[in-house]
């Protein structure tokens, strides 16, 4: 009986921590989205090179992870002790929530396809900008 009470208190403590973390994780998601959206506009070749390397990794981890980000997985790890948690209604649903709020009916496959296509366009734009930067010797 004591072990059950200890487990429940630890579980409740983890849930509270995870719920307290949710606004911070939301801000991390927004920061990544802003970086992916405007990173191709950076005026430095090294920054564009980093962007051109990071963007495919972000897309690949998102595809391999079933539409869920590493930020979601960290939240799950803290919340439930598992990398993936089917009970977490926010897992892999970041963009779905936005589309639903805007009244746009979209499946997860449509969202993934659209976002990967958008990231491809942004990646190409970053490569082109990087090639156009003239270095002064």
Question: Which domain covers residue 57, as residue numbers?
Answer: 2-132
Look at the chain and report how many structural domains it folds into: 1
Please tell me whether residue 67 adopts helix, strand or coil conformation.
coil
Q: Is the residue at 6 inside a domain?
A: yes
Q: What is the mean pLDDT of the chain?
A: 81
Highest mean pLDDT among 13-27, 60-74, 84-98: 60-74
Mean pLDDT, rounded, for 55-68: 87
Helix (H, G, I), strand (E, B) or coil at 42: coil
On whether residue 35 sits in a domain, the answer given is yes
Specify the length of the chain in residues.
Answer: 137
86 in a domain, yes or no? yes
- Please name the residue ranges forming H helices in 39-93: 45-64, 70-80
Residue 30 lies in a domain: yes
Distance CA 120, CA 115 (A): 9
What CA–CA distance (Å, rounded) separates 137 from 118? 35
Q: Is residue 127 part of a domain?
A: yes
Q: Does residue 67 or residue 46 have the better pLDDT?
A: 46
Given a contact cutoff of 8 angstroms between Cβ atoms, the answer to whether 91 and 84 are in contact is yes
Count of CB atoms situated within 10 Å of the CB of 90: 18
Output the pLDDT for position 124.
96
For residue 19, is it within any domain?
yes
Q: What pLDDT digit, counting tens, does each position of 37-57 carry?
A: 999 999 999 999 999 999 999
Spatial distance between the Cα atoms of 45 and 127, rounded to a whole number of angstroms: 10
Q: 137 in a domain, yes or no?
A: no
The predicted model gives 59-81 an average pLDDT of: 82
Whether 118 is in a domain gets the answer yes
Give me the pLDDT at residue 123, please.
95
Res. 86: pLDDT tops 80: no
Give the pLDDT confidence of 106-136 residue by residue, as tens digits: 888 888 889 899 999 999 999 999 999 887 7
- State yes or no: pLDDT of 17 exceeds 60: no
Minimum mean pLDDT range among 4-8, 27-31, 59-63, 78-82: 4-8
């Amino acid at each position: 009986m004591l072990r059950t009470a200890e487990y429940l208190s630890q579980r409740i403590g983890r849930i509270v921590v995870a719920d307290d973390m949710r606004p911070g994780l939301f801000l991390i998601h927004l920061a990544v989205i802003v970086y992916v959206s405007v990173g191709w506009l950076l005026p430095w070749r090294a920054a564009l090179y980093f962007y051109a390397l990071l963007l495919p990794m972000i897309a690949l981890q998102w595809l391999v992870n079933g539409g869920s980000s590493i930020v979601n997985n960290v939240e799950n790890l803290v919340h439930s002790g598992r990398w993936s948690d089917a009970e977490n209604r926010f897992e892999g649903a970041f963009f779905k929530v936005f589309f639903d709020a805007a009244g746009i009916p979209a499946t997860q496959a449509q969202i993934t396809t659209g976002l990967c296509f958008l990231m491809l366009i942004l990646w190409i734009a970053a490569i082109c900008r990087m090639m156009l930067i003239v270095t002064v010797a």
